[in-house]
């Protein structure tokens, strides 16, 4: 889905809020996002049937702060779909079902991974905290400098990436405790206790106050 969004942005195809801003005044109109593509691919209305209760309105009591009327997505089990076709279909039901099966297969229940250095590593280019990620069967960390996979790649800096096992060796060297060889978990505890973070660049790392 992110690949579809990226290709639409790269090709200059207007997103829904750009093509029809009058009906999408609440949206930024900055381009296609993964959420927009997901919503379109999962919209059963394109099979020619009517669908109710996808985004029911919820009203806030007058004595409470906040907007008086909000809309929230419901799960597919709560949708009400007409039993007959009520308008010309844009896609066949078989294609629609096949897409839903692909989407479900692409997002299985993921195993729980543990990352020792969460919130302890910062990007030297943009100063963002590195995001944990699971790559090639290992814990790792990366920074995409605020970009998403739905945005065009041209002209943006390369992602910063470092494996957790290599970062453990780097932190041992920075702390000058190579001869002690403490466990990675002990290194993480020490950084948090001393309120230190590691500033990471493509050419090296350094310790900084948190």
pLDDT over 80 (residue 65): no
Helix/strand/coil for 6: helix
Q: How far apart are CA 168 and CA 54, in angstroms?
A: 47
Q: How far apart are CA 210 and CA 193, in angstroms?
A: 10
Please, what sign has the CA dihedral across residues 115, 120, 124, 125? Answer: positive
64: left (phi over 0), alpha (psi -120 to 50) or beta: beta
pLDDT of residue 103: 76
Question: To the nearest whole percent, how much of the chain has pLDDT over 90?
Answer: 15
pLDDT tens-digit map of 163-173: 999 999 999 88
Please tell me which residue, 69 or 40, carries the higher pLDDT value: 40
Residue 88, judged by CB atoms within 10 A of its CB (0-12, 13-18, 19+), counts as exposed
Helix/strand/coil for 51: strand
pLDDT over 90 (residue 199): yes
């Amino acid at each position: 889905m992110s690949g579809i969004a990226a290709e639409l942005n790269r090709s200059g195809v207007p997103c829904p809020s750009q093509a029809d801003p009058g009906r999408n005044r609440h949206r930024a109109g900055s381009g296609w996002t993964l959420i927009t593509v997901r919503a379109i691919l999962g919209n059963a209305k394109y099979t020619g049937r009517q669908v109710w209760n996808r985004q029911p309105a919820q009203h806030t009591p007058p004595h409470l702060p906040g907007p008086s009327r909000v809309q929230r997505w419901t799960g597919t089990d709560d949708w009400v779909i007409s039993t007959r076709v009520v308008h010309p279909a844009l896609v066949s039901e078989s294609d629609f079902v096949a897409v839903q099966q692909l989407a479900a297969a692409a997002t299985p229940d993921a195993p729980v991974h543990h990352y020792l250095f969460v919130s302890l590593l910062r990007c030297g280019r943009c100063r963002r905290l590195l995001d944990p990620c699971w790559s090639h069967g290992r814990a790792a960390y990366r920074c995409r400098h605020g970009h998403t996979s739905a945005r065009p790649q041209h002209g943006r800096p390369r992602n910063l990436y470092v494996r957790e096992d290599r970062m453990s060796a780097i932190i041992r060297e920075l702390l000058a405790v190579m001869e002690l060889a403490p466990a990675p978990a002990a290194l993480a505890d020490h950084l948090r206790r001393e309120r230190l973070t590691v500033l990471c660049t493509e050419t090296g790392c350094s310790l900084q106050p948190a």
